[in-house]
Structure 1
């Protein structure tokens, strides 16, 4: 058993990488877990919960610290700031950690990191918070709705204001609630190698909790496991981790046998592989991405799942490949975006994106669409998608595209899974050719897709 102190020191190192060096939290956490593979399942779970939870609720942690600290959070030394954040998270959200242990271990950590002179400050702030944790005053939901959402759900105010222009307060709150809730992992069964029932059985035999997908027949929802790579069927390519909203792309594309398909921003390859699965060994999928590193990720998944009709290729989506002009039955353009639909899985996205970056991304999406639309043959299909929910990167771009290019939206009804179409209500947009998967309304990540056909 690793000492609790060591785990907290690892958590602090991860926090410093993310908050000071701008690294992605999931990347740093995965690297840490990979480096310390000897950690027990319990220790890995503790480290993951502590780091992910603290980052996820960082705005709330800072709000609480500011109420009880004589020095405001943004004036604190970065190491002390992160030690306090980790300490408050343990006190507020980790019931299995006694408040006294959270305080004592935080003080030890401050001393170990060379801040012996501040151990009294750390101890005083955390002990006061542990006494007052049930009495903390949050902004009023009625009188200060934006501040309330900002603090309670740790979401930057500009994103909240942006969403409230498009969605109701209740919808925005649902989206934020989902972003902080624990969710199962969604996997797509590789039906070219096994059946959904066989995969379910193998995973259950391993002690994994397995449920049905909400909308897609080839989807399963899993939980109560340690590592995806160690699961039954992973190394044999029996499944791919993929959200159901993302699975809808291959369905929306209306894949037919022998289709020639180009996926222009494909890494790590989930949609390309789903298309290959639907092609049942026929046709070709050109799976492109910008760097060799990203294309290597696609290759790993292609080899693991065992497809021979996928061709991974390094290709900049902004550079026209003349040999592909007018050749594709289907182009999949799942483009770089702000990622605000997957905040629940990548909890530091919300701190890194800015209004200026979002504007730049919307322009980049248009620039890519200008190029890749040329690959679609007459009567062919372009599926445009993003893992975000805001109009600037989604519907506005689609409207711009059909106004400027020889494409039209086409109804999705005959392409999407039957049980999904049946559950759609009167407000559905699938007959118009697009859908915005709003977390909390749909049981998926936030995601947008549109089916565009070349006239």
Structure 2
């Protein structure tokens, strides 16, 4: 690999930013790859894989380091800690790189960062780990199932225990295992401009692998591309990056031609655009978010799409818009949440989230719902959704809402394929689970306002 030291230094910078400042990993990686577009595909892939992989496996990596190091991970200098973490990821998960090269490059980077006196320590720890992976002692799976699964799947203990209590060991294992699998990019074909079959053909001709979704015809997963922004099909607005789960939320919203629609927390705009497409350029979708930056992202996507029945606005979803009261046929409330359903794409969330923060988010969700439901006409529809797997933010919030406001659940079976229908979808809501479904973890419910 050319320029290996520099790519490892970039990985270190990403890890420092995410673990030290709490910046979201997908944003840091995106910015680094954008800045260093001149790097080859192999180097860019290395940066992405080692950065994301290290963050995904960090609990297990720290557990391994602690068994081979005289200094525990938590007491190490942050730079040394992250050099070791990324090196252990390469040793354990990247067989194509010789162990000696991993150790040597880590030592070089340690010296380059001004820690000459710790280069021997870094070298010793890594060579011990390279020689003795079989010596790692894990928690007893039968006596300490939560501790074992926490280490095995590199998830915080409190999260692992929460899901074990709710779903049991088999489903919890499926969920946690899915978070560690490679996540392809999911896209939605703009069927107003091109068919899914033609889009797949064009992408395949560029060496990009495409896989159709079993749930929605216009959805597909793509692998093997380098830089998304460089694809002509992306620039031409022929597809939108969007997970299948958020597409399904739009599907159950089922907008009609001529509808007045509000998407109250819309950035970066994928759901809003899909709503506008399904309305066949009639009616109006008002896509709102809190900051000019987020609304700018929506506007960029609107420009690429070529749609004219959608507009973006800066608006705080907690603030009542008097002019919008009882004007909407449909309100989509995909609200800020803990994000526990997308840990496979944003692994750093698990290190920053806590049960206290979840309680705060639940309060925010209720505040927003208590405001935006007022926009729905009598007989209109409200869709509530989150990208989490948390009963407090999902089912409990739904129970609270139904006890407070004149709405009732409505079956979503007519909008779903047979594979997704269940007792809960007949009632009006769906909890998608990674590993169980081919989608991110996502919750959605369809509510009809009482009256005509």
TM-score (normalizing by structure 1): 0.97
1: distance between equivalents of 2:202 and 2:139?
48
Structure 1 position 364, deviation (Å):
0.4
Is it true that 1:423 corresponds to 2:419 in the alignment? Answer: yes
Structure 1 position 58, deviation (Å):
0.6
| Aligned twin of 1:269 | 269
Structure 1 position 211, deviation (Å):
1.4
Are residues 233 and 433 of structure 1, via their aligned partners in 2, closer, same or farther at CA, if it must alter by over 3 Å? same
CA contact (8 A) 2:208 2:224 kept: yes
Structure 1 SS opposite 2:414 = coil
1:23-422 → structure 2 map (5 Å cutoff): 23-416=23-416, 420=417, 422=418
Structure 1 position 243, deviation (Å):
1.0
Structure 1 position 147, deviation (Å):
1.0
TM-align CA RMSD = 1.0
1: distance between equivalents of 2:311 and 2:38?
37
CA contact (8 A) 1:188 1:218 kept: yes
Report the more deviating stretch, 405-414 or 21-30. Answer: 21-30
| Aligned twin of 1:436 | 431
CA contact (8 A) 1:91 1:102 kept: yes
Structure 1 position 254, deviation (Å):
1.9
CA displacement 1:1-21 (0-9 Å, x = unmatched):
742111111111111111111
CA contact (8 A) 1:91 1:99 kept: yes
1: distance between equivalents of 2:420 and 2:188?
22
Report the more deviating stretch, 123-132 or 141-150. Answer: 141-150
2: distance between equivalents of 1:9 and 1:377?
55
Report the more deviating stretch, 225-234 or 29-38. Answer: 225-234
Structure 1 SS opposite 2:378 = strand
2: distance between equivalents of 1:161 and 1:168?
10
Unaligned runs of 5+ in 1: none
Structure 1 SS opposite 2:286 = strand
Structure 1 SS opposite 2:392 = helix
Structure 1 position 80, deviation (Å):
0.7
1: distance between equivalents of 2:436 and 2:63?
29
CA contact (8 A) 2:268 2:295 kept: yes
How many residues matched? 450
Report the more deviating stretch, 101-110 or 371-380. Answer: 101-110
1: distance between equivalents of 2:170 and 2:390?
16
Structure 2 SS opposite 1:37 = coil
Unaligned runs of 5+ in 2: none
Report the more deviating stretch, 363-372 or 107-116. Answer: 107-116
CA displacement 1:282-325 (0-9 Å, x = unmatched):
00000000000000000000000111000100000000000000
CA contact (8 A) 1:206 1:232 kept: no
1: distance between equivalents of 2:20 and 2:9?
16
CA displacement 1:142-170 (0-9 Å, x = unmatched):
12111111111111111112212211111
CA displacement 1:146-204 (0-9 Å, x = unmatched):
11111111111111122122111111111010000013211111111111111111111
1: distance between equivalents of 2:424 and 2:227?
37
1: distance between equivalents of 2:334 and 2:253?
12
Structure 1 position 382, deviation (Å):
0.1
CA displacement 1:63-103 (0-9 Å, x = unmatched):
00100100111111111111111111111111111111111
2:449 to 439, 451, 454: 454
TM-score (normalizing by structure 2): 0.98
Q: Hey, which bits of structure 1, 4+ residues long, moved more than 4 A?
A: none
2: distance between equivalents of 1:236 and 1:168?
46
